[in-house]
Amino acid sequence: MLEGLISALFNGISIGAVLLIVALGLAIVFGLMGVINLAHGELMMFGAYTTFVVQNVAKEMGGIAPELYIFVAMPLAFLVAALLGLLLERSVIRYLYGRPLETLLATWGVSLILRQFIRSVNWPMLIALVIFGLLFFIGHWVLTRYTDWDRIREWANPTFLALSSAIALLVGFIVQNSGSSKFVRPWFGAQNVDVTPPSWLRGGLSLGNTLQFPYARLFIIALTILCVAAIYWFLNGTAWGLRIRSVTQNRGMSACLGIPTERVDALTFALGSGLAGIAGFAVTLLGSVGPNLGVNYIVDAFMVVVVGGVGKLVGSIVAALIIGIAVYLIGSGTLALMFPPTPAFQPLIDFFTFFATTSMAKVMVFALIIAFLQVRPAGLFPQKGRSVEV
């Protein structure tokens, strides 16, 4: 019984560790800008697919590359997700600050686009996107630098957008119809793809006859601790971290003191997105990944943020561990086995046995969270200071 409980607690902590990495970036973005980013899960998905691509390249290289590819995949997953998040913030989010409903709908639309992009992306689509980006952004830069941009802004933007899109679509269509079937085939498709961990992350650490702690889950827990420590150092030990905390507390006063709030917003969104990429990398160590990967984690991540307290790092840590352990204890049936098999406890055993699946366990935890928020609507660690009054 004790060994089963220890094993269940370890698995719950490992689930909570993944949730914490996902929720960490979401908590930073939501706490600073109040943006409900429903595309956060898709940023996580891009981190997972980046890991898949790096793994395939490492297999082609051979030698020791397949054993060390995760040390390349991890920073690349962060970088790809951070750049994608920066593009999202600069192109969509920056125009919707202070309008939470529009932000929610816009990011939901972006999440659908990113999911379909992963299912359909091939060489012709990539070529068309690159051509569009070069034509539109280089043309925009030339006009803003050498013309009276304020005077022509109203017609220049839609004109360049239409022309760039038309040329890119035409080139993509030509390439699509002239290339070989292998060249136009989707890279990933709608099916899940497998990421194989290095051999040194397979197996587990055995304690006693029945206890075994998988190396992959131990690695994820260590990675989570490293991410939390790095974020804490960045927010409390660097100049940009100080600026982020200042804007979180009082945006108007920060702007009056000369802090570039727009650059802070962009950096924060990129940082939060990069953490989502790291979470996607971590999830690949647990199983296959697919286009719907982010959907499976986004609701849980928001639950962690809300229960812990918006913008509170300590709250996110505590909430992620509580939710991860609760979901596993209930969903695995461990909680039902903890009661003595006597008639007095039989109703409780039947009750927890009914919820002894992952989906039903999430339903029960979600109901408990709703009840908890009736008592503490601001979460475990509510915000203090002027930001509460806004």
Taking only the tens place, the pLDDT of each residue in 230-286 is: 988 998 888 888 888 888 777 788 888 888 888 888 888 899 899 999 999 998 988
The verdict on residue 279 lying in a domain is: yes
Residues with Cβ within 8 Å of residue 287, at least 6 apart in sequence: none
Taking all residues of the chain, what is their mean pLDDT, rounded to a whole number?
A: 83
Ramachandran area for residue 258 (φ above 0: left; ψ -120 to 50: alpha; else beta): left
CA 232 to chain centre: 18
Distances (CA, A) of 267 to 90, 263, 281: 11, 6, 21
> Which is it for strands 204-207 and 211-214: parallel, antiparallel or unpaired?
antiparallel
Same domain, yes or no: 336 and 308? yes
Same domain, yes or no: 206 and 288? yes
CA distance 388 to 390: 6
Domain boundary among 185, 203, 238: 185
Higher pLDDT, 15 or 116: 116
The verdict on residue 255 lying in a domain is: no
CA 340 to chain centre: 41
3-state secondary structure of 204: strand
Q: What percentage of residues in the chain have a pLDDT greater than 70?
A: 94
In the beta sheet, which residues pair with residue 205? Answer: 213
Same domain, yes or no: 334 and 270? yes
Distances (CA, A) of 45 to 40, 57, 114, 274, 361: 9, 19, 9, 11, 24
The verdict on residue 54 lying in a domain is: yes
Same domain, yes or no: 131 and 65? no
Instruction: Report the pLDDT value the prediction gives residue 161, as an integer from 0 to 100.
Output: 81
Amino acid at position 356, single letter: A
Residue 386 has pLDDT above 50, yes or no: no
| Tokens (6 digits) for 190 | 């709608």
The verdict on residue 229 lying in a domain is: no
Domain boundary among 164, 185, 206: 185
CA distance 19 to 323: 9
Residue 207 dihedral angles phi and psi, to the nearest 5°? -130, 110
Q: Count other Cβ atoms within 10 Å, centred on residue 10.
A: 19
Same domain, yes or no: 138 and 285? no
Higher pLDDT, 345 or 70: 70
The verdict on residue 296 lying in a domain is: yes
pLDDT digits (tens, 9 = 90+) for 197-232: 888 888 888 776 677 788 888 999 999 999 989 988
Same domain, yes or no: 29 and 172? no
The verdict on residue 298 lying in a domain is: yes
Same domain, yes or no: 168 and 316? no
Instruction: Report the pLDDT value the prediction gives residue 383, as an integer from 0 to 100.
Output: 66
E strands, the chain, where? 204-207, 211-214
Same domain, yes or no: 294 and 346? yes
Same domain, yes or no: 160 and 70? no
CA distance 62 to 25: 34
Instruction: Report the pLDDT value the prediction gives residue 77, as an integer from 0 to 100.
Output: 94
pLDDT digits (tens, 9 = 90+) for 91-117: 888 888 778 788 888 899 999 999 999
Band of residue 124 on the pLDDT scale cut at 50, 70, 90: confident
| Tokens (6 digits) for 258 | 């000369």
CA distance 32 to 247: 7
The verdict on residue 66 lying in a domain is: yes
Q: How many domains does the chain have?
A: 2
Same domain, yes or no: 288 and 371? yes
CA distance 69 to 108: 32
pLDDT digits (tens, 9 = 90+) for 129-157: 888 888 887 877 787 777 777 777 777 77
The verdict on residue 169 lying in a domain is: yes
162, burial (CB in 10 Å: exposed 0-12, middle 13-18, buried 19+): exposed
pLDDT digits (tens, 9 = 90+) for 277-324: 999 999 898 878 888 888 888 888 888 888 887 667 788 888 888 888
| Tokens (6 digits) for 242 | 């100080």
Same domain, yes or no: 60 and 92? yes
Residues with Cβ within 8 Å of residue 316, at least 6 apart in sequence: 20, 23, 24, 27, 304, 305, 308, 309
CA distance 138 to 238: 34
Instruction: Report the pLDDT value the prediction gives residue 390, as an integer from 0 to 100.
Output: 43
CA angle in degrees (0–180, nearest 5) for 32-93-278: 65
For 249-310, give the secondary structure using H, E and C: HCHHHHHHCCCCHHHHHHHHHHHHHHHHHHHHHHHCCCCCECCCCCHHHHHHHHHHHHHHCC
Same domain, yes or no: 375 and 274? yes
Amino acid at position 213, single letter: F
Range of the domain at 112: 2-116+193-219+262-383
